[in-house]
Amino acid sequence: MQYSDKVLKHFKNPHNQGVIKNADAEGQVGNPVCGDVMKMYLKIRKQKTENRQQEYIENIKFETLGCAAAIAVSSIVTDMAKGMTLDKAMELTKDDVIKELSGLPEAKIHCSMLGVDALKEAIKNFKNQN
């Protein structure tokens, strides 16, 4: 199984790894088949623009128990989502993640879904609480 240089870079030095204390939202997902578990923490900033209020991801961190691909996916998803509006972040897809990582082996594609799903779960939890 061959990983791209970008996957290896994010696995060896993951970005945004850790916990946000007093996070505005959390989302956790797992895959019972492979055992990977991802948890995302969000800090949301509200800003009024053009007569409407936008909600942005001001900070995002993750905790992941899983393989190299799962950790790399978590890292890149947090990089991609930071600064996005919640609506724009909800549009992220596994294909966006795979492209940003310069590809993933076929057997690890499911890892890209976990990262997107954890992010979306956190956003849904935030919207349900507010």
Residues annotated catalytic, as ranges:
34, 111
Rounded to whole angstroms, how far apart are CA atoms 9 and 15?
Answer: 10
Rounded to whole angstroms, how far apart are CA atoms 63 and 37?
Answer: 8
Angular region, 35: left φ>0, alpha ψ -120 to 50, beta rest: left
Rounded to whole angstroms, how far apart are CA atoms 65 and 29?
Answer: 11
Rounded to whole angstroms, how far apart are CA atoms 38 and 118?
Answer: 6
Closest to 13 (Cα-Cα) out of 80, 72, 70, 94: 72
